[in-house]
Amino acid sequence: MSESISQRELRNDSGRIMRGLDQGRTFIITRNSVPVGELRPLRRQRLVDVRLVGELFRGAPAVDGGRFRRDLDDVADQGVEPRG
């Protein structure tokens, strides 16, 4: 659940708020008790080891690249012309 903080708290308690962000907390910023924004932590990038990916796809069926491309072209318009 988000914690509501005033514009003044954001200015005066920035250290506490930054620590909260580091802990995954989200804040709703208010001005004159009216919500004006949301401050939330950035999502951490998750990397997957390439060996694990290889292991996961080891038993997958082979994909014919040409056929796959034709199938995509049959269902999706990938043209660069603007619609209108």
Give, for all 84 residues of the chain, the pLDDT tens digit: 789 999 999 999 999 999 999 999 999 999 999 999 999 999 877 788 899 999 999 989 999 999 999 999 888 877 777 766
pTM of the model: 0.52
What whole-number distance in Å separates Cα of residue 3 and Cα of residue 7? 13
User: Fold for domain 3-39?
Assistant: YefM-like fold (3.40.1620)
pLDDT of residue 47: 84
Cα distances (Å, whole numbers) of residue 47 to 15, 17, 50, 52, 61: 29, 27, 9, 11, 24
pLDDT of residue 11: 96
What whole-number distance in Å separates Cα of residue 14 and Cα of residue 20? 10
pLDDT of residue 84: 65
